[in-house]
Amino acid sequence: MNFSFCPLASGSSGNAYLVRGDEGLILIDAGISCKKLCEYLEALGCGIKDIDATCITHEHTDHIKSLAAICKKHGRMSLLLSKGTDEYLENIAGVESRILMDAENCLQKVKDLQLQCFSLSHDAAEPIGFSVIKEGRKISFVTDTGIITNHIFDSIKDSDTLVIEANYEEGILNMSTRYPYSVIRRIGGSFGHLSNKDAAKTILEVIRYRKTQGVLKPIKIYLAHISRNHNTQVQAYMTVKNYLFEYDIHEEKDFFLNPLDREFNLQEAIMIAI
């Protein structure tokens, strides 16, 4: 079975993820330039026209930067997005279908891949996260949310691979002089982003749930949307790892942990098994 993903970009400068099955190929967000996206896809052995569907989490530029360009280039793109996001976006050429997803219409099939959406808490029109499922395996993408609601947790708790936001380190953000206090409050608020500690708490509860279900295989964790100004990859990794260690949850035994790069490395163009 082929079920894999590749982070093409992760951070405030752009976000995009590719998920591949035996038949289906899905792009989640298009927050980088069309030129870069084409280069990255080519390195992975595919192209824009091979994409079966593009999922958009919300309308912020770092998630839709090249959407219009790739839809025009594709010619018959299927978009999966919320009604709120759809209403925000202008008419885009090259779109064959728009599938509006919400709590009442949260499941969709794209060839051999099943998509599930869930509501997020972010300062956007109607933000949603996505899970992709194939033959009992599941990957979930949870970024750009200020809190983890019960709804979000219930949607991701059975994931085998979890891409979760670890945007900022609380102490670094609170001492920042880079932004006015209103922006700092927005980042750390319930409609902003998850901190390293927020991510760690969520991961802990997911692992505990998996244990109650008799799942002993370590979960794969990827820390995403790491801030350039209020975090580092090392800081995110150490905060999460140390928090879990306090609760007797150990790397390699219970989880594998990797902070994502902000940009795709053309020299290491590989799909990661889910």
Task: Please count the other Cβ atoms lying within 10 Å of the Cβ belonging to residue 195.
Answer: 26
What does 108-150 look like in DSSP terms, one character per residue? EEETTEEEEEEE--SSSSS-EEEEEEETTEEEEEE-S-SS--H
The domains found in the chain, sorted by start residue, are: 4-273 (3.60.15.10)
- Reported as a single tens digit per residue, the pLDDT across 237-265 is 999 999 999 999 999 999 999 999 999 98
- Reported as a single tens digit per residue, the pLDDT across 9-23 is 999 999 999 999 999
Lowest mean pLDDT among 43-47, 102-106, 247-251, 267-271: 102-106
Q: What is the pLDDT of residue 102?
A: 84
Query: What's the whole-number mean pLDDT along residues 43-65?
Result: 97
- Reported as a single tens digit per residue, the pLDDT across 80-104 is 999 999 998 877 888 988 999 987 7
Task: Tell me the pTM.
Answer: 0.96
CA distance 181 to 208: 36
Residue 166 neighbours by CB under 8 Å, 6+ apart: 194, 195, 196, 198, 199, 223, 224, 225, 226, 231, 236, 239, 240, 259
CA distance 236 to 165: 10
Q: What is the pLDDT of residue 197?
A: 98
- Reported as a single tens digit per residue, the pLDDT across 99-120 is 999 877 789 999 999 999 999 9
Q: How far apart are the first and last CA of the chain?
A: 10
- Reported as a single tens digit per residue, the pLDDT across 171-226 is 999 888 888 889 899 999 999 999 999 999 999 999 999 999 999 999 999 999 99
pLDDT above 80: residue 43: yes
Tokens coding 176: 């920042």
The answer to whether 123 and 192 are in contact (CB under 8 A) is yes
